[in-house]
Structure 1
Amino acid sequence: MTALDDLRKAAGVEFDFAPGAQVPLSTSGSGGTGLSQRIASVAYREGAPDKIKQPNDAAGVSKGRFTLLEPNLGEAFTRAIETRMLAEGRKPLIQSFGAEPQAVVEHALAAKRIRRQRDRRLTVIMAVFGLLFLPGVAIWLGMFQLRRSFAGSQDKRAGALGTLLLAAIAGLIVLLVLRAPVTGVLQIYLWAMLPAPVIGWFLAKQVAERTAQNLRAHWGELAGGGGSGVMVPEAVPQNPNDADAERLRIGLAKLAAEQESNLTYYAGTKGILGMGVRWGHWQLAEDLRPRDPGREIDPFRSWDVARAIGDQMRLLERGPLHTGGFKPPVITHWVVRHVGGAGEVSRPEGPDADGYSFSNIEVQRICNEQQYSSGDRHYLGVRFVLWEGELVITMMITVTVLHQTLRIEVSGYVLGPLDGFFGEKPSPDTKTVREFPKFWKQKKVELPAVDAKEAVRLAARAPLTWFPKQLDKLGGTISLPEPFGLRHTWATKPWGHRFMVDDVLRTATPVLRVAFSAAFKVLRENGVDMAPFDARAAALSGQIQDPGPKHSDEYGM
C-alpha cells in the first residue's frame, strides 16, 4: 500500500485517479453562496493582519522576526486557511451550516495562485537586479527595514529624528560609494550598485500594481456577494504519481465529507458549535401508564419516538393555506458530545464510526441506551438556513425514558449573521490635488494600489514564498480561533435584526406541536394513557408563545 493509498483511507475517499479528470469547480450555486463568498473575500484583501481580530478577538497574529517580510491580511488569511483546512494531520473542523467551506478554500487557493504568478515575476526581477547588484539591494533593504523599525510596519511616519538619522546614513553611503578607491569596471559597478535596484523596484512596482488591481476586483466582487466559482487546477493529478495534486484533491474531499458528519459538540454557554447559542427550551415529562386497566403498555424504544418525530418533521413545509411558509428543513439524527471549553474536538472513532460519522446502528443505540451519566447523547435536529445563510435556526429534540417517565425536550439554537467586516469593499486611497492650469480648482485623484514601501515588501518576500514554513517564521502568521469552523467563528447575535428575531420565534411553536403530535401517535399506538400528556402539551402550547428569547444555558447559580 502506497502513501497515497494510506491518505485515501484516512480521508474515507475511495475514488482513484482517472485520465481526463475535470478541474474541480466551486459549488457556488447552492445555498449560502453569498455568505461563503464574503468570507472568501478576505483571501484577496490588503491591510494589516491585525484586522482579522475585528470580527473575533480570539484570532491571533504572531509577529515574525522582520517586519519587512510581514504578510498582509490576504496573504496571512490564505496561508492560515490552507494550513488549517488542508494540511495533513490537521485538527477536526466544526461544520459550517449555511456556508460552503470548500468554496472558501478554493478561493483561497485561487488567491494564492494569483500571488504566486506575481511572485514568479518578482523573483526574476530580484534575480537580475538583486543578485547581480546584491550589495546595493542589501543597502536598500536595510534602509527600508530601519525605516519600518523606526516607524512601525503599518503606514506610519518615521518621525523627525528617525528621518534625520536615515538621511544621514543614506548620505554617508552615497559618499562612500563615490569616493571608493577603485577604478575601471569595478568603479562602474559600484556607481551602478545603488541606482540598479531602483530600476528593479520600478519594474517590480508595475508587476505588483497589476496584481493588486486584479485582487481588488475579486475582493470587491466577492464582498458584495457576487462572483462565480473558481477552478482549482492544482487539484487535478497529471499522472498517477502526482502526489501533491492528489493530496490536495483528497484534502478537498475530506472537507466535503467532514461537513456531512453527524457528530456535533456542546460547548456550555456557547451552545452547540456550529449551531449557536441555546435561546429557549421546552420539555414535556409524564409517566407512562397503560390506557386500559389490567393491561400493560406495548414495549417501544426511544428511537421509535425519535424516528416518528423526524418523519413528521419532513412535512413541515406543507400547510392548509398557501402562504409560502416554511422552507424544507434539514433533518438530522445527531450524536452530541460535550466538550466544554476545549481547544479542539475529536472525530468519531472505533468500529461504529463510518468515515466522519457514526453508523445508523450506533445512533440508534445511543438514542436508546445513553440517556444518563457519561457518554454521547442523541438529538434530532431540524435546521432552517434562512436569509441566504445569514440566519441558521436549529431545533434540537431529544427523547429520554427514566424509570416510568418519558421526557421530550425541544431546544432552540440560533446562529446569527456574519460580522460586517466581511462585507467591507476595497476603498482606494485618494489625495486632493490642484488642477492644471486651473490651479484654483481642486480634484481628488486615486493613488496607486501599491506604493513604494509595499513594492519593496513584495519584492523582498517573493523569493521566500517558495519556502512557506521559513517565511512564516520570518514574517509572521495568523492563528484561527479553536475549535475552528468557518461559519460559527465569525457569527454575530441575530437579536439586532427585527425580522430575523421574528423568524426565530415563529419557528419554535409549529416545531414543538409537530414533535408532540408525532410522539403522541406512537404512544397511543402502544396503549399509553394520553390524558396527562395532552394536558401538559396544552400548557406548553401556550408557554411557547412567550415573546422573548431566554438565556437557557445561563442558570444563574
Structure 2
Amino acid sequence: MANDGFDFSPGAQIPLQGAAGQAVATNALASAAYRDSPVEDILKADSEWHKSKIEEGRSKLFKSKYFAPNLGEAFSRAVQVRMLGGARKALIQSFGTDPQTVVEHCLSATRLRKARDTKLTLVTVVFGFLFLPGLLLWVLAFRLRDGLGATKDKALGALGIVLLPLIGIAALFFLIKLPVTGLLALYLRAMIVAPVIGWLIAKRIAETSAKDMRARWEGLLSGGGVIAKIPEAVPKNPNETAREALRQGLEKLAAEQQSNSVFYAGPKGILGMGTRWGSWQLAEELVSKDPGKEFHRFRSWDLIRVIHDQLKMLERGPLHTGGFPTPSVTHWVVSPVGENADEVSRPAGEDVATFQIKPHEIQRICNHQQFGSGDRHYLGVQFTLWDGQLVITMMITVTVLHETLRIEVTGHALGPVHSLFTSKPKAKEKTVNKTVRFWETRKVILPLVESKEVVRLALRAPFTWYPPLLDYLGGKITLPEPFGLRHAWAEKPWRHRFMADDAIRAATPVLRAVHSAALRVLDENGVDTERFDNRSMILSGFVQDPTPKKADMYDA
C-alpha cells in the first residue's frame, strides 16, 4: 500500500509545537497526559456519539486499586498505542488541533514517569522486597484501612481512621518486646521499620514528580509554552531502530492528518468535522438561453474549479472591518461508512500517495461518480476559530442528473473540547472552622500526594518496564472508535452564544459566493440562468435566518 512502509520525512527533525491558531484545543488535549485525576473522569468528556470505556484489571490475584492508573497514565498509554502502534487502524483527522503535539506530550509525560518510577523501583527493592514480609503487612494494613473507610457503617469508618496509628503502636511494642535475639531479631525489626522509611523516601519522590506534572498541566492551559521533550524520537545512528520507528510513526501521524479523504457516518456527520446542521440546495434544469441553439458543454469539475477560486477570495471584503480569516479550501473525497462502524479504511493504490488522493482521481470522481455506490467529491471551505476550539466547515457538491444541475451547500460545525480538558489543577486544600473562634474559618493545605497514592506508585513502579503487564493488573482506557483526538471529546458549539453566531454567520457569504461563481460559469457557457438566479434569491432569503438542525436525522 502507498501509505505503509514509507518514510514521510527527509530525516530526523526536532518536533515542533502545535500550529498557530490551534494552541488552545491542542494544549487542552495535551494537558490530559500530565493529570493526576481519577481515570473515571474521562467518561465525563464523552460526546453523544463517541464513548470511551474503562477496562478494569483482569488479574484476580492482584486485583486492587493500587495497580489502577490515574487519568494521565491511562490517557498517555492509550493515545500512544492507538496513534503510534505498528498495527494501528486508520485515524480520523483532528481538525483544529495538532495531534502530533498531543502525542509528543504523552511521550514526554511517560518519559518523566519512567524516570520517577526508576527511583521508586530502587526504593521498593531496597526497602520493600528485601523486607517482603513487612512490606506485605503494611500493604495489607493500608488495604484494610481503605476497605473500612469505604463502608457505610460509621463505626467501621472510624476504625479505619485510627487503624494505622493502632498498627504503628503495635509495631513499636513488637520492636521493643521481641521474643527472639540475634540476626533474626535485627531482621524482624528492620522488616517493620524499613517499609516506613521507604515510604517516606517514596513520598518525597512522588511529591517532586507531582509538582512537576502539575506545573506542566498548568503551563499548557495558561499558554506558558511547555515543550515536550522526547529525545527517544531522534535517532543518533542507523542502528537505533526503536528511535527510528518512533520518528517514522510521528511522521506518518502528521501525514495522515493532512489526508484529503474523510468519512461520512450517517447521523454522526463527517467524522472529524461534526454533524451536519444545515443544507441548502440549488437545483434547476439546464436550458440554453438562445432558443434553438445548444449551450456549451461543461463538466462538474469546470464549475467546481471556479467555485474554488471564488471561495479563496472570502477573506477579502469591501470594508476594513475584519471579517473572515484566511479559509482553508480543500477538495475532499468522502467515503460512506456505517453509523456504528468501529473502524475505517483509507483509499489505497496507485492513485494515492502518502494518504493524499491524487488530483486526477479527484477530478474523475467529481465528474463521473455522482450516483450509485462509491466515493463522492466535495469542495470544503474550513475556518478554524477560537484557537482551534471551533471548526466551521461548509461543504459544496455539484451533481448533474439528466438535465438537472444541483449545487448543494451543507454546514458542519465541531465545537470546543470538553471542559474537562480545559480545567486547571486545583490546590489541595479544605476550609475548616477555627478552634477557638469557631465562627471564623481557615484554609488547611492538604498533602499533594496522599498516603495511598504513594503506596500505589511504589507498587506500580517495578512493572513500568512492561506496560502490558500493568494494563493486565490495573486496567486501561479503551478509546472510542473510529478514533480521532479532536472529535472524540468535542462539545456542541450551540451552547456557546458567540460560537453559535460564528457558525451561523458563515453560511450566508459562503452560499452567495458559491452561487455567484456558479451563475457566472453557466452564463459563460450559454445556459439560461433566470431560474437559477430566482432560486438563488429564494435561498439567499432562507439563509438570512438559519436555524441549526440535525440535518442528517431524516424523519422517515
TM-score when scaled to structure 1? Answer: 0.91
Letter in 1 for 2:6: G
Aligned residue among 54, 58, 69 for 1:61: 54
Instruction: Give the match for residue 390 of structure 2.
Output: 391
How many angstroms apart in 2 are the aligned matches of 1:385 and 1:442? 47
Q: Distance in 2 between matches of 1:553 and 1:14?
A: 37
In 2, are the aligned partners of 1:431 and 1:446 still within 8 Å (CA)? yes
User: Relative to structure 1, is the Cα distance of residues 434 and 523 closer, same or farther in structure 2, using a 3 angstrom cutoff?
Assistant: closer
Cα displacement (A) at 1:157: 11
1:43-58 matches, cutoff 5 A: 43-56=33-46, 58=51
Shift, 1:496, TM fit: 2.1
- CA 1:412–1:152 in structure 2 vs 1: closer, same or farther (change >3 Å)? same
- TM alignment of 1:437-456, pairs within 5 A: 443-456=442-455
Deviation of 1:255 after TM superposition, in Å, equals 1.2
Which of 68, 77, 80 in structure 2 is aligned with 1:79? 77
CA distance in 2, matches of 1:441, 1:550: 52
In the TM superposition, 1:371-520 aligns within 5 A as 371-431=370-430, 443-520=442-519
1:202 shift after superposition: 0.4
Contact 2:3–2:354 (8 Å) recurs in 1:
no
What residue number does 2:541 align with?
Answer: 542
Aligned counterpart, 2:60: none
Structure 1 residues 397 and 442: alpha-carbon distance in aligned structure 2, compared to 1, 3 A threshold: closer
TM-fit CA distance, 1:350: 2.2
Report the equivalent of 1:303: 301
Q: Residue 503 of structure 1: SS of its match in structure 2?
A: helix
Given that residues 149 and 161 in structure 2 are in contact (C-alpha distance below 8 angstroms), is that contact kept between their aligned partners in structure 1?
no
SS of the residue 1:28 aligns to: coil
SS at match of 1:411: strand
**CA distance, structure 1, for counterparts of residue 299 and residue 3 of structure 2:** 36
Q: Quick one: structure 1 residues 152 and 39, their matched pair in 2 at CA, closer, same or farther if it must change by over 3 Å?
A: farther
Backbone CA RMSD of aligned residues: 2.8
The question of whether the paired residues in 1 share the 8 Å contact of 2:149 and 2:158 is answered with no
Shift of 1:230: 2.3
Q: Residues 433 and 164 of structure 1: is their aligned pair in 2 closer, same or farther, counting only changes over 3 Å?
A: closer
1:265 aligned onto 2:263 = yes
2:318 aligns with: 320
The answer as to whether partners of 2:18 and 2:97 remain within 8 angstroms in 1 is no
- Tell me the amino acid that sits aligned with residue 276 of structure 1: G
The 3-state SS of whatever aligns with 1:256 is helix
Q: Which residue of 2 aligns with 1:131?
A: 129
Cα drift, residue 375 of structure 1: 0.9
Shift of 1:249: 0.6
1:472 shift after superposition: 0.5
Cα deviation per residue 1:503-546 (whole Å; 9 max; x = unaligned)?
Answer: 11211111111111112222222221222211211211112112
Tell me how far 1:151 sits from its aligned partner: 4.7
Q: Which piece of structure 1 moves more, 32-41 or 218-227?
A: 218-227
In the TM superposition, residue 141 of structure 1 has moved relative to its aligned partner by 2.2
Tell me which residue corresponds to 2:86.
88
For 1:518, give the aligned amino acid. Answer: A
Structure 2: how far apart are the matches of 1:277 and 1:67?
38
Report percent identity of matched pairs: 54
Give the 3-state SS of the residue equivalent to 2:238 in structure 1.
coil
Decide whether the 8 Å contact of 1:36 with 1:104 is kept in 2.
yes
Instruction: Verify the 8 A CA contact 1:37 1:227 in the aligned structure 2.
Output: no
Deviation at 1:28, TM superposition (A): 3.0
- Which residue of structure 1 aligns with residue 236 of structure 2? 238
Task: Give the equivalent residue in structure 1 for 2:344.
Answer: 345
Offset of 1:162 from its aligned partner?
6.0
In 2 relative to 1, CA 50–545 (structure 1 residues): closer, same or farther, beyond 3 Å? Answer: same
CA 1:9/1:308 → structure 2, altered by over 3 Å: closer, same or farther?
A: closer
Partner secondary structure for residue 331 of structure 1: strand
Report Cα offsets for 1:406-455 as digits up to 9, x if no partner.
10000011111122111211112224578899999863232221121111
Which of the residues 2, 7, 12 maps onto 2:6? 12
Secondary structure in 2 matching 1:215: helix
Q: What letter is aligned with 1:540?
A: L
Alignment CA distance shift 1:293-1:92 (3 Å)? same
Mapped to 2, the partners of 1:536 and 1:277 lie a distance apart of: 26
CA distance in 2, matches of 1:493, 1:455: 39
Structure 2 counterpart of 1:36 = 26
AA aligned opposite 1:52: I
Q: Measured at CA, do residues 16 and 177 of structure 1 come closer, stay the same or move farther in structure 2, by a change above 3 Å? A: farther
Residue 199 of structure 1 corresponds to: 197
| 1:279–1:552 contact (8 Å) kept in structure 2 | yes
CA distance in 2, matches of 1:431, 1:198: 27
> Within 5 A, what are the aligned runs for 1:208-219?
208-219=206-217
Q: Which residue of 2 aligns with 1:3?
A: none
**Number of residue-to-residue matches in the alignment:** 545
Cα shift at 1:74: 0.8
What runs of 5+ residues in structure 1 fail to find an aligned partner? 1-5
Aligned partner of 2:105 in structure 1 is: 107
Per the TM alignment, residue 284 of structure 1 is displaced from its structure 2 partner at its CA by 0.8
Segments of structure 2 that go 5 or more residues without pairing to the other structure are 58-62
Cα 1:405–1:50 change in 2 (3 A) is same
Give the Å deviation of 1:159.
2.5
Deviation at 1:294, TM superposition (A): 2.6
**Contact 1:391/1:414 (<8 A) preserved:** yes
Which residue is equivalent to 2:250? Answer: 252
Distance 1:150 1:442, change over 3 A: closer
Q: Are 1:284 and 1:537, in contact at CA under 8 Å, matched by a contact in 2?
A: yes
Give 1:287 shift.
1.3
CA shift, 1:341, in A, is: 2.1
Change (3 A) 1:179 1:322: same
**Compared with structure 1, are the counterparts of its residues 10 and 228 closer, same or farther at alpha carbon in structure 2 (3 Å cutoff)?**
same
What amino acid does structure 1 have at the position aligned with 2:55?
S
- TM-score when normalising by structure 2: 0.91
